[in-house]
Structure 1
Amino acid sequence: MERITIHKAILNDIEQLQKIGRETFSETFSSSNTEENMKQYLDQGFSIDKLTDEINNENSEFHLALSETTVVGYLKINFGASQTELKDEKALEIERIYVSKEFHGKGVGQILYEKAIEIAKEKNSDYIWLGVWEENARAISFYKKNGFVEFDKHIFRLGDDEQTDIMMALKLG
């Protein structure tokens, strides 16, 4: 099995982060969305300005998964006020875990997920939560396998399309 290393993204990593972000989001969602909506989201969501703000935000972290020197996936987590919804000081949000298609099934997502758990425990979080698109069966089953339970739903906007995310949580400790 290939050795995967994880490192916390810094500003020097921004171009690699932008590339893996756009690539994995496209691989995951382009078949289910219009080209215009995808382009708009990729341009805005992964702009250098937005990523710079997010990397500089003390309540958000990106962690890159590398196979040798190639970035093959990433994790984005949020704490406190940076969480997209709950904003609970005792919670950690996994906003994104994305892995390049060619690395699916190789344990990269699990390694990134375990990194999130480790950080949540370091921060004494009571629980971890996330939103996952209701049609992303692969991700839902991954989180269920890891003990997450559904607790709510919310709307995620992709361009002019409103989609439903299932909100899931895992209690720690």
Structure 2
Amino acid sequence: MRITRRYIRTVDGLNRVIGRIVMFGIFVMMGILLWSSVSKTFFLPSLWTLEMAQFAMVTYYMLGGPYSIQMGSNVRMDLLYGEWSDRRKAQVDALTVFFLIVYLGFLLWGGIGSTIYSFQYGGERSPTAWRPYLWPIKVIMCLGISLMLLQAISELLKDILRLKGEDIPHEVDA
């Protein structure tokens, strides 16, 4: 039990810190898109802005996703869920989180293969005019998927503890 609680505390703490930092990435995206608009209007358009905004959005989404899972901010069908008891919610959540873990495992496996491919062949590049290397964003995606996988396992362990009748302190500040 102590190891389980330590795992939950460690993963939740790590994803909380990363999520709180990454949430400011919205300002990075706004700055890139603002520069894109200004440069297209007053100067020569920059080749890098659209793709860099996409990379910033992927980073924002992938590294912020685990924090979103932790906070319960993910989308749910609340038609029936809201009326269920805490025990029933934990049962359904444990089942759905199990499938999420399987899905994330396959996603990580494919992501690692794609990242290795990008490194092996002299640095895979985007086919656009700017031609940035793709390995940095692939590494960020693998990191984000790994963090989501760790958070999903943490959520599964919380559901199992709830089903056993254990008290799970909600340590995340809103």
Shorter-chain TM band: under 0.3
Structure 1 or 2, whichever has the larger Rg, is 2
More strand as a share of residues:
1
Normalising by structure 2, we get a TM-score of 0.26
Q: Which has the higher contact order (CA 8 A, sep 6+)?
A: 2
- Tell me the TM-score normalised to structure 1 length: 0.26
Higher helix proportion, which one? 2
